[in-house]
Structure 1
C-alpha cells in the first residue's frame, strides 16, 4: 500500500493552555494513533514556539496565525490534523453571524461578505462587539422569541445562556466581562426547541479523504450537570458528494450536509490563506417560538475534537479494508467510578482528573452497519 504522507514522524502541539489532563491525554492518544495510520513514528510533543519543521502536526487548537504555521513547517492541510486561519476571531463563534449595522465595531480583517454568504445556512442572529450593539441586537431578536447568548470563546455549551425578556437580556449582558466582549465579541441567536443536532465532518488525512455524519449525546458529570458524553459517527470514504449519496434516504440529513457544505466553502473562499484537514460542523434543526421549523450551522471546529477518537478509528478501518465504503464508530465519555471498557475499544483516559473527577474515555468501531464497495 502506498504511504499516506511523505512525513516521517507525527508531533503533538499543545497550544491550548487551558486544556485539562483528560483532554491532553486523549489528544496525545489520537496523535499517536494518527501516526500509526499514516505509517509514521510518533515523536511526542513539539514546542508551539519552534522555528523549524516538526513533521506532521496535531495541534490541540486551531492555529490562528499563518506565520506560526509556516514556522512549524505547516504549509497546507497535508501537514496537520486540524486547521489554520489567518486571524484569531475566525476560529471563534462570532464569524457565524453578521453585525447589527455596517458601521458596527468589529475586529480588523472582518469580512462582511462571509455572513452574507452563509445567511441561509445559519439561524437568525448577530455578532456584537459592544454592549450597545448587543442590547439592540438582542431586543430585535426578542421580537420573535427567546434569544441564546454565546460567549465567543466558549466551547460546546459553555458560556451560553437564554434570555426570554429584555430584563433577562440586560442582566446577562451586564454579567459578561465587558473588556472580553469588546475584544472577542458575543453571539446572539434565535433559540430553538425540539432540537436535533447533527455533526457533519470532512477529513483529509494525508492522501485519505473521508467525511461523516452523526450525532452527539450528553451524560451527567459528578455535579449532576449535562455535559458531552460522546459521538456516534457514520464515516464515508470520500468527500461531501459521497456523504450526500450515503444520506440519500434522509431528507433532513441531506439538508444538514448541504448547510455544512455551504458554510465550509464560504469560510475557505472568504478568508484567504485558511485551510483545514479536519472540519466539523454542528447543524441544528428545531422550531422557534412561533412553531416555525428552522435549521442552521451553529458553529465550526477546525481542530482536534471530542469525536476525533472515532474519526481516527474509522479511518484506520478504511485503510485496513479497501472494500469498505463506510464505517460506524463512536466515542464515549463516562463520569464517575471506573466504567467497563468494551472489548476491542481504544481506551484514551481512565482516571481522576483534577477538574472533572473520575472519567473514562474510549473509542470503538462498530461492526454493524458497515457498507462495502460494489464490484
Structure 2
C-alpha cells in the first residue's frame, strides 16, 4: 500500500482546554492504531522530550487554527502530518460556516460570503451572527415563518440548543450568552426541523489510505436524561466519494452524500489555508413547519470525533487486506452497564468525572449488500 512520509512517532496534541478523561483515553487508543498504520510507535507524553527535532505525526484533540503557527511549531504542512483539520480562523472550525450572515451583518476576519453561495442547497435555512444585534435581526426574519433553533457553535453532541418561538424567548436566552465569545466564534439561528434523521458522511486519509463512508447516528440518554450522541452505523469504502456513490444507495442517503460533498467542495474553495485528513459531516433530514421534507448539512467535524474509532478500524481492515473494498463499522456510546459484545473493540469504559458510567466501543464486519 502507499505510504506517507516516514514519521518517528505519533503524539497526542491537547487543546487549549483540558480534554475530558473519556476522550483522552479514546484518543490514546486511536493513536496506537494510527501508529501501526504508519509503521511507527505511539509516543507517551513523558517521552516527548526524546523526540525533539524529529518528524512526528499528530492527533490533535481539536481542529487546529493558524496554519503558519502550526507549521512553525509542529511542522504540520499537509494531511500527511496529522489526523484532523487545520483552518485559519476560529469560527471556521465550527458550525458557524453552515449559514450565511444576515444582510449587512458584522463578521470576523476571514469570513467568506462565497462559502454559503457555493454550498447552496446543501445548507438548511438559517443565519450565522457575530453580535446580539444581528441575532435579533436573524430571529426576526426566521420567526416570520416558524420556531427556530438557536445553536451555540462550540457545543457538541446536541447540547445547549434551544427552540425559540418568539422574541421574548429569544431575549431570555440572549441574556445568558457571552457577546465577546459570539464575536469570535459566532452563533447559529436555524430553521427547526422535526422527525429528524441525522446522516454521517465523511472521509479519512492516513498513510496514503483513503476511506469514505455514509451512515446514520443514534441518540441515547445520558445519566441526566438528556438525549445525546450514542454512536454511528457506517458503510465504509476504500477510496473517495465516487466509490461511495457507486454503491446501491437509497435516494435519501445519496442526497446526504451529495450535499456533504458539495459542502466540502465549498470549504476547499472558500476557506483559505484549510486542510484536513479527517472530515465528517452531519446531514439532517426532517420536516419543516409546513411538513415538507428538508435536508442539509448541519455542521462539519474536522477533528477526531465520535465516529473515528470506526474510521480507524476500517482503515486497518483495508491495510490488512488489499482486496477488501467495503466494510460495515459502528461506534457505540453506552451510559449504563450493558455487556460489551464479544466482537467489539473497547476504547473506553469507566466512571467519567463529568458524565458518569460510560462505555465506548466499536465493531466492524463484512458489508452486506442491500
Which TM-score applies when normalising by structure 1?
Answer: 0.93
Bigger drift between 133-142 and 276-285 goes to 133-142
- 1:155-196 CA-to-partner distances (Å, cap 9, x unmatched) read 221221111222212222222223222332210000111211
Using the TM superposition, give the Cα deviation of residue 96 of structure 1 relative to its aligned residue in structure 2, in angstroms: 1.2
Using the TM superposition, give the Cα deviation of residue 53 of structure 1 relative to its aligned residue in structure 2, in angstroms: 5.1
Paired with 2:286 and 2:226, the residues of 1 have a C-alpha distance of 23
- 1:274-330 CA-to-partner distances (Å, cap 9, x unmatched) read 100000000011111011221110000100001100111111111111221111111
Paired with 2:193 and 2:52, the residues of 1 have a C-alpha distance of 46
**Contact 2:84 2:278 (C-alpha < 8 Å) held by counterparts:** yes
Bigger drift between 231-240 and 154-163 goes to 154-163
Using the TM superposition, give the Cα deviation of residue 203 of structure 1 relative to its aligned residue in structure 2, in angstroms: 1.0
Q: Helix, strand or coil: the match of 1:261?
A: helix
1:95 corresponding residue in structure 2: 97
2:75 corresponding residue in structure 1: 73
Bigger drift between 27-36 and 38-47 goes to 38-47
Using the TM superposition, give the Cα deviation of residue 51 of structure 1 relative to its aligned residue in structure 2, in angstroms: 8.3
Using the TM superposition, give the Cα deviation of residue 222 of structure 1 relative to its aligned residue in structure 2, in angstroms: 1.6
Paired with 1:341 and 1:196, the residues of 2 have a C-alpha distance of 26
Paired with 1:143 and 1:258, the residues of 2 have a C-alpha distance of 30
1:132 corresponding residue in structure 2: 133
**CA distance 1:243–1:367, shift in 2 (3 Å):** closer
Ranges of 4+ aligned residues in structure 1 off by more than 6 Å: none
**CA distance 1:12–1:39, shift in 2 (3 Å):** same
Is the counterpart of residue 369 in structure 1 residue 368 in structure 2?
yes
Paired with 2:229 and 2:44, the residues of 1 have a C-alpha distance of 27
**Contact 1:310 1:364 (C-alpha < 8 Å) held by counterparts:** yes
Q: Helix, strand or coil: the match of 1:324?
A: coil
Paired with 2:101 and 2:54, the residues of 1 have a C-alpha distance of 39
Which runs of structure 2 are paired with 1:185-334 in the superposition (5 Å)?
185-246=186-247, 248-334=248-334
Which TM-score applies when normalising by structure 2?
Answer: 0.94
Unaligned runs of 5+ in 1: none
- 1:199-221 CA-to-partner distances (Å, cap 9, x unmatched) read 00011112101100011111121
Paired with 1:106 and 1:51, the residues of 2 have a C-alpha distance of 39
**Contact 1:348 1:361 (C-alpha < 8 Å) held by counterparts:** yes
- 1:87-109 CA-to-partner distances (Å, cap 9, x unmatched) read 1111011111111113x211111
Which runs of structure 2 are paired with 1:47-196 in the superposition (5 Å)?
54-70=55-71, 71-102=73-104, 104-196=105-197
Paired with 1:303 and 1:53, the residues of 2 have a C-alpha distance of 23
**Contact 2:326 2:367 (C-alpha < 8 Å) held by counterparts:** no
**Contact 2:198 2:216 (C-alpha < 8 Å) held by counterparts:** yes
**Contact 1:93 1:187 (C-alpha < 8 Å) held by counterparts:** yes
**Contact 1:4 1:39 (C-alpha < 8 Å) held by counterparts:** no
Paired with 1:29 and 1:2, the residues of 2 have a C-alpha distance of 23
Using the TM superposition, give the Cα deviation of residue 4 of structure 1 relative to its aligned residue in structure 2, in angstroms: 5.1
Paired with 1:170 and 1:54, the residues of 2 have a C-alpha distance of 51
Paired with 1:95 and 1:51, the residues of 2 have a C-alpha distance of 36
**CA distance 1:86–1:181, shift in 2 (3 Å):** closer
Using the TM superposition, give the Cα deviation of residue 336 of structure 1 relative to its aligned residue in structure 2, in angstroms: 2.6
Paired with 1:257 and 1:173, the residues of 2 have a C-alpha distance of 35
Paired with 1:279 and 1:130, the residues of 2 have a C-alpha distance of 29
Paired with 2:282 and 2:213, the residues of 1 have a C-alpha distance of 12
**Contact 1:191 1:288 (C-alpha < 8 Å) held by counterparts:** yes
